[in-house]
Structure 1
Amino acid sequence: MRPATREYNFDWMLLSTYEAASKLTAGTEKEYRRALRYVPYFSGILDAMNSIGEPGELFIKTCALYLRNLVNAKKEGRKNAMTTFCFSPVIFYAMDITPVCLEVLTVFLTLTYRRGSAEFLDYCNEIGFTETSCSAQRGSLGAFLAGIGADIDMVVTDTPGVCDTNANAFAFAAAFMDKPFFQLDMPPVLAGERYDRYHRDDYRALIAFLEKMTGAALDPERLAEILTEFTRQDELIAELEELGRLKPSPLPPAFNLLTYAAKFLFAGMKPCTELLESMLRAARRNAEEGRSGLAGGVERLRGFFCYIDHFTCDMRLWKMLEELGISTQANILSVSWSPDTAHVKLYGKEHAAYHISTENLDAMIDSLALANARMPMVKSIRGPYDSPDMWLDDTLALATMYRSDFIVYSGTPGCRNTWGMVKPYARETEKAGFPTHIMNSDAFDDRVQSWESARDRLEEFFKVRGLL
């Protein structure tokens, strides 16, 4: 790692960038355009976000707030828990713990800086961690292992057996930094009395661990307040998903990013609710006017990204979608499994949904355990891809509901649980009538395949398959 990279804590550097960005629209249009000259690689994100109005501005402010909480946690008396996007932060907020989500921080880096997170990725390998692991964690993990991030008090994750490279990253981090470690287990079957009981018992062990780490008992009133907010967020996401079924879709492509980012950053908290409410207001306006959410106003194609998005610098994936007139409605990161969502009701998937109850402490813990078990990845790839309620089942249901014209797989070489089955999976989606493209790039590291090459292959797919 270059000495210059060690000059500043990377999370403080990100905070400075996002806080400054959150204030740019307070001036005149001329002042805003002049300021963009000084952030040539970040200007694309700002323009993309500001072009969708209030939701985009709120998103930048929400990111800044999350980073501010992270940087100031110890000064304000909170513990920091290193965790993953597959783990709902609700329990952390209920116990006044700051969630330090590695994948979110990696995306902040890759979207913001042309250099991306390459030095942090490589540093993990230099100190002994395998280079075949997922870049989503390594992209920011390297900074913490190098001592240029906030102090970590504990490591909490929930993906063993679901994503071995994810689980191994957190196990390595805990061992290297000598931090207390807790890992929720995910059995290979999602629903059923035996599996529900396992999830609930395991989650109670997690709460006991967190109580020991913080020295404070879980406050039922605080948890009820957060779960009530969480339920409101589920209602908002359900309505956004319903609106996404309209043709043309009134949702801008970037709304997908905003939905899952809001959940990963502040599930159960007001900032997430406020962002989702702003998105819903914008989507309703578009729907009432019969207008596409695309900036160009014309929806040429509808796509479904069946795994994750591509997080190259300057939001170039979303720029491409806008340029080509392609709307996207959801992916494995943004889809909700509350009982009110359209796909749960349409396909009779109530058994796979979670139900939130605030009746008493036991009911709340049970609710949260089952909601956490339906987070991205731990819901859809815990068992064979073609088993009931798993990846293929979910993909075909969602792509059909949204009337998608094609499916795209985007991941990383470290996504071994999906890479190992993506070709037979793609054959099944093709048989179902969905032209399917497998991206060979790394969603978090442009050195594997440049964005320019990735885009060329995508556009070739659209042309060869007669989509555009």
Structure 2
Amino acid sequence: MRKETREYNFDWMMWNAFSAASRLKSGTDKEYQTILKYIPYFKGVVGAILGTGEPGEKFIGICSKYLENLVFAKEKGKKTAITTFCFSPAIFYAMDIMPICLEVLSVMMTFTYKRGTSEFLDYCNEVGFTETSCSSQRGTIGAYLAGIGTDIDMIVTDTPGVCDTNANAFSFASAYLKKPFFQLDFPPDLTGERSREYHREDFKALIRFLEDNTGKKLDYDRLKGHLVELAKQDELIAELEDLARIIPSPVPVPYNLMVYASRFLFAGMPECTGVLESMLKVAKENAAKNISGLSGGVEKLRAFFCYIDHYAQNLQFWQMLDRNGICYQGNILSHFWSHNAPHVAHYHKEDAAYIIDTKSPDALIDSLGMINSRMPMVKSIRGPYDAPNMWLEDTLGLAKIYSADFIVYNGTPGCRNTWGMVKLLARDTEKAGYPTYIMYADAFDVRVQSWEATEERFMEFLKVRRLV
């Protein structure tokens, strides 16, 4: 790692960038346009997000607040825990623990800075971690391994998508930093009393671990408040997803990113609720006018991504879709499995969904277990891809309900679990009538394949399959 990179704490640097961005719209439009001239490397991402109006402003605002909370966690007497995007942070907030979500921080760095996270990715390899692991964790964890981030108290994770490279990243960090480590596990079956009992006991063990490492007992009344707020967020997301079924969809392209990023950072907190309410307001207004959420106003195609997005600088992935009139119907991260989600009701999958029960402490624990076991990836990619309630069934169901014209797979070279079965998945989605494109880029590292090459090949697929 270059000496210059070590001069600034990673999270402090990110907080300052997002804090400044959150204030850009506080003046007049003329002042805003003038400021953009002085931030040539940032104006692309700023324009992409703030261009969505109030929701974009609120989204940048909560990203800034999250980073501020992270930077000053120790000064406020809070413990810190490195965790993952597939771990609902509600339990952390209930215990005054600051969750450090590696993957979302990697996304922030990747789409904000031209250099991306390359030096942090490489530093992980320098200290002994494999380069074949997932870049979504390495993009941030390298900074903490190098000691240029907030002090860490513990590491708490689960196994999203039964992802070995993800789990190994956290266990390596725990060993390297000599920090307490806890990992939730998941049985191969999603439903049934045996699985519910497993999740219940696993979560009770987690609570004991958190209590031991914070010196505090879990306040169940406080936890109840967070879960009530989370249930409210589920209702807002369900409304947004219902609106997305309309043709043309009134939901702007970047909203899916804003939905899952807000949820991963502030599940059960009013910050996330505020962003969702703002997005829903705009989507309803567009629906009332029967207009598309695309900036050009004309919807030509509808795409569903069966895995994750591409986080190249300046949100170039979302801008490409918007520019070509492609309505983005989300990915596996942006569709949650609450009991009131449109796809749950439509396919009568209530047994595979979660429902929040706040009647007793045991009910709260069961609710947490159900939420975590049904987080994106954890829910869909835990067993054989073609088993009930798994990847193929979820992909086809979501593609159908949102009227997708084609399906796209994108991940990282470290996504070994999905790479081991994506060709089989694509064979079956093609048989079901959905042209399916497998991207060979790295969602977090453009050195693997440049964004220009990625875009060219994506457009080539659309032309070869006569979608455009």
Shared fold, TM over 0.5 = yes
2:357 counterpart residue number: 357
Q: 1:74 is aligned with what amino acid?
A: K
**Deviation of the 1:31 alpha carbon:** 1.2
Q: Among all aligned residue pairs of Structure 1 and Structure 2, give the percentage whose two residues are the same amino acid.
A: 64
Match of 1:98, SS state, is: strand
Alpha-carbon distance between aligned partners in 1 of 2:125 and 2:87, rounded to the nearest angstrom: 25
1:306 counterpart residue number: 306
Match of 2:396, SS state, is: helix
- Determine if the alignment matches structure 1 residue 380 to structure 2 residue 380: yes
Alpha-carbon distance between aligned partners in 2 of 1:428 and 1:280, rounded to the nearest angstrom: 34
- Determine if the alignment matches structure 1 residue 285 to structure 2 residue 285: yes
2:50 counterpart residue number: 50
- Determine if the alignment matches structure 1 residue 254 to structure 2 residue 242: no
Alpha-carbon distance between aligned partners in 2 of 1:14 and 1:402, rounded to the nearest angstrom: 35
Match of 1:189, SS state, is: coil
Q: 1:395 is aligned with what amino acid?
A: T
- Determine if the alignment matches structure 1 residue 60 to structure 2 residue 34: no
Alpha-carbon distance between aligned partners in 1 of 2:309 and 2:185, rounded to the nearest angstrom: 26
Match of 1:268, SS state, is: coil
For 1:71-90, what aligned pairs fall within 5 Å after superposition?
Answer: 71-90=71-90
Q: 1:393 is aligned with what amino acid?
A: E
**Deviation of the 1:360 alpha carbon:** 1.0
- Determine if the alignment matches structure 1 residue 413 to structure 2 residue 424: no
Distance 1:338 1:160, change over 3 A: closer
2:110 counterpart residue number: 110
Q: 1:252 is aligned with what amino acid?
A: P
Match of 1:81, SS state, is: strand
Alpha-carbon distance between aligned partners in 1 of 2:37 and 2:11, rounded to the nearest angstrom: 23
2:392 counterpart residue number: 392
Alpha-carbon distance between aligned partners in 2 of 1:44 and 1:281, rounded to the nearest angstrom: 25
For 1:421-460, what aligned pairs fall within 5 Å after superposition?
Answer: 421-460=421-460
Alpha-carbon distance between aligned partners in 2 of 1:359 and 1:169, rounded to the nearest angstrom: 37
For 1:68-467, what aligned pairs fall within 5 Å after superposition?
Answer: 68-159=68-159, 162-467=162-467
**Deviation of the 1:19 alpha carbon:** 0.2
Q: 2:99 is aligned with what amino acid?
A: P
Q: 1:246 is aligned with what amino acid?
A: I
**Deviation of the 1:46 alpha carbon:** 1.2
CA contact (8 A) 1:160 1:186 kept: no
Alpha-carbon distance between aligned partners in 1 of 2:399 and 2:147, rounded to the nearest angstrom: 43
**Deviation of the 1:221 alpha carbon:** 1.0
Structure 1 runs (4+) deviating above 4 angstroms are none
Alpha-carbon distance between aligned partners in 2 of 1:160 and 1:455, rounded to the nearest angstrom: 28
Alpha-carbon distance between aligned partners in 1 of 2:465 and 2:196, rounded to the nearest angstrom: 43
The one-character-per-residue Cα deviations of 1:95-135 (angstroms, maximum 9, x if unpaired) are 01000010011001100001000000000000000000000
Alpha-carbon distance between aligned partners in 1 of 2:320 and 2:330, rounded to the nearest angstrom: 17
Match of 1:52, SS state, is: coil
CA contact (8 A) 2:336 2:376 kept: no
Alpha-carbon distance between aligned partners in 1 of 2:14 and 2:397, rounded to the nearest angstrom: 38
**Deviation of the 1:330 alpha carbon:** 2.0
The one-character-per-residue Cα deviations of 1:64-103 (angstroms, maximum 9, x if unpaired) are 0000000000000000000000100010001010000100
**Deviation of the 1:38 alpha carbon:** 2.2
2:4 counterpart residue number: 4
Q: 1:209 is aligned with what amino acid?
A: F
CA contact (8 A) 1:160 1:183 kept: no
Alpha-carbon distance between aligned partners in 2 of 1:282 and 1:316, rounded to the nearest angstrom: 23
CA contact (8 A) 2:87 2:372 kept: yes
Match of 1:315, SS state, is: helix
Alpha-carbon distance between aligned partners in 2 of 1:28 and 1:403, rounded to the nearest angstrom: 40
Alpha-carbon distance between aligned partners in 1 of 2:95 and 2:329, rounded to the nearest angstrom: 33
CA contact (8 A) 1:161 1:186 kept: no
CA contact (8 A) 1:337 1:344 kept: yes
**Deviation of the 1:51 alpha carbon:** 1.5
Q: 1:141 is aligned with what amino acid?
A: I
CA contact (8 A) 1:259 1:276 kept: yes
**Deviation of the 1:160 alpha carbon:** 7.5
Q: 1:311 is aligned with what amino acid?
A: Y
Match of 1:156, SS state, is: strand
TM-score, length-normalised on structure 2? 0.99
The one-character-per-residue Cα deviations of 1:150-207 (angstroms, maximum 9, x if unpaired) are 0000000000880000000000000000000000011111111101110111001000
**Deviation of the 1:48 alpha carbon:** 1.2
Distance 1:342 1:161, change over 3 A: closer
Give the root-mean-square deviation of aligned CA atoms. Answer: 0.8
Q: 1:148 is aligned with what amino acid?
A: I
Alpha-carbon distance between aligned partners in 2 of 1:142 and 1:463, rounded to the nearest angstrom: 39
Match of 2:302, SS state, is: strand
How many correspondences in the alignment? 468
**Deviation of the 1:413 alpha carbon:** 0.2
Alpha-carbon distance between aligned partners in 2 of 1:460 and 1:7, rounded to the nearest angstrom: 43
Alpha-carbon distance between aligned partners in 1 of 2:169 and 2:463, rounded to the nearest angstrom: 39
CA contact (8 A) 1:384 1:390 kept: yes
CA contact (8 A) 1:160 1:185 kept: no
Alpha-carbon distance between aligned partners in 1 of 2:6 and 2:274, rounded to the nearest angstrom: 36
Alpha-carbon distance between aligned partners in 2 of 1:30 and 1:373, rounded to the nearest angstrom: 48
CA contact (8 A) 1:236 1:277 kept: yes
Alpha-carbon distance between aligned partners in 2 of 1:35 and 1:72, rounded to the nearest angstrom: 28
1:14 counterpart residue number: 14
Match of 2:303, SS state, is: strand
> Structure 2 regions of 5+ residues with no counterpart?
none
Larger displacement relative to structure 2 (75-84 or 48-57):
48-57
